[in-house]
Chain A
Amino acid sequence: MTSAQTDDAFVEFDRVQKSYDGETLVVKDLNLTLPKGEFLTMLGPSGSGKTTCLMMLAGFETATHGDIRLGGKPINNIPPHKRGIGMVFQNYALFPHMTVAENLSFPLEVRKIGKDEREEKVQRALDMVQMGQFGGRRPAQLSGGQQQRIALARALVFEPELVLMDEPLGALDKQLREHMQFEITNLAHDLGLTTVYVTHDQTEALTMSDRVAVFDDGRIQQIAPPDTLYEEPGNSFVAQFIGENNTLEGVVTNMGADSCEVKLDSGDVIDAKPVNVSKAGERTRVSIRPERVEFNRDRLLSDAHTLKAHVKEFIYMGDIFRFRLSVAGNEDFIVKTRNAPDAVRLKAGQEIEIGWLAQDCRALDA
Chain B
Amino acid sequence: MNDQSMKAAMERGDGPMLAADGTPLKKSLARALRMQKIRALLLVAPLLIFVLLTFLAPIADMLFRSVENQIVSETLPGTTATLDDWEAGEGLPPEPVWRAFYFDLFLAAEAKEHTRLGSRLNYEFTGMSSLFRGAGRGIDDIGEDQAAAIIELDPRWEEGGFWHDLMSGTGDADVRFLDARRDRLERLTGDRYDGDIGFSPGAAVVDLLPLTARAYTDWALYTVLADGDAVIEVTPWEAVPVALFLDLRAADAAAVSGYDGPGRGDLFVAMLAARSSDPIDFRQSFIDLDEDFAIPTIWETIQTYSNRFTPGYFLNAVDLQLTPDGVSARDAGQRIYIVLFQRTMFMSLLITFSCILLGYPVAWILANLPMRVANMLMILVLLPFWTSLLVRTSAWKVMLQQQGVINDTLVWLGLVDDAARLVMINNQFGTIVAMTHILLPFMILPLYSVMQTIPPSYVRAAKSLGATNMTAFWRVYFPQSVPGIGAGSILVFILAIGYYITPEIVGGTKGVFISNRIAYHISASLNWGLGAALGTILLAAVLILYWAYDKVVGIDNVKLGG
Contact = CB atoms under 8 A, between A and B. Distances in A.
Given A93-B455, A95-B476, A97-B479, A81 B467 contact: yes
A158 B455 contact: no
A81 B464 contact: yes
Looking at B460, B461, B463, B471, the one whose CB has the most chain A CB atoms below 10 A away is B461
Nearest to A80: B463
Nearest to A60: B460
Given A95-B476, A96-B480, A110-B471, A87 B461 contact: yes
B457 interface: yes
Nearest to A106: B465
Given A106-B465, A110-B466, A110-B471, A97 B480 contact: yes
Looking at B462, B464, B476, B480, the one whose CB has the most chain A CB atoms below 10 A away is B464
A81 B460 CA distance: 9
B457 A93 contact: yes
Contacts of A179: none
A87 B464 contact: yes
* Interface size of B as a range: 10 to 19
B412 interface: no
B27 interface: no
A41 B466 CA distance: 24
A84 interface: yes
B455 A81 contact: no
A39 B227 CA distance: 105
B462 A58 contact: no
A259 B167 CA distance: 140
B458 A93 contact: yes
Nearest to A151: B461
Interface string B269-286: 000000000000000000
B457 A89 contact: yes
B205 to A, nearest CB: 86
Interface in A25-57: none
A293 B491 CA distance: 71
B34 interface: no
Contacts of B462: 95, 106
A81 B466 contact: yes
B466 A107 contact: yes
B466 A111 contact: yes
Interface in B445-503: 455, 457-458, 460-469, 471-472, 475-476, 479-480
A154 B465 contact: yes
Contacts of B466: 81-82, 84, 107, 110-111, 158
B458 A95 contact: yes
A58 B472 CA distance: 16
A91 interface: yes
Interface residues of A, number: 27
B156 to A, nearest CB: 96
Interface in A75-120: 79-87, 89-91, 93, 95-97, 106-107, 110-111
Main secondary structure of the interface of B (DSSP, over half): helix
Given A93-B455, A106-B475, A86 B480 contact: no
B467 A93 contact: no
Interface in B131-161: none
A155 B464 CA distance: 9
B457 A110 contact: no
A107 B465 contact: yes
Contact of B464 (A80, A90, A91, A96): A80
Contacts of B468: 81, 110
B218 to A, nearest CB: 75
Looking at A60, A85, A158, the one whose CB has the most chain B CB atoms below 10 A away is A60
B90 to A, nearest CB: 70
Contacts of B480: 95-97
A90 B455 CA distance: 11
Contacts of A107: 465-467
A64 to B, nearest CB: 20
Nearest to A82: B466
Contact of B460 (A82, A84, A89): A89
Nearest to A83: B464
Interface in B55-98: none
B460 A93 contact: yes
Contacts of A80: 460, 463-464
A165 to B, nearest CB: 11
A94 to B, nearest CB: 8
Contacts of B471: 110
A106 B464 CA distance: 11
29 contacts: A58-B460, A60-B463, A80-B463, A81-B464, A81-B465, A81-B467, A81-B468, A81-B469, A82-B466, A84-B466, A85-B464, A86-B465, A87-B461, A87-B464, A87-B465, A89-B457, A89-B460, A89-B461, A90-B457, A93-B455, A93-B457, A93-B458, A97-B479, A106-B462, A106-B475, A110-B466, A111-B466, A155-B465, A158-B466
Interface of A: 58-60, 79-87, 89-91, 93, 95-97, 106-107, 110-111, 154-155, 158, 164
Given A81-B463, A82-B466, A110-B471, 18 more contacts: A58-B464, A80-B463, A81-B468, A81-B472, A85-B464, A86-B464, A87-B460, A89-B457, A89-B461, A97-B480, A106-B462, A106-B465, A106-B467, A106-B475, A110-B465, A110-B467, A158-B466, A164-B464
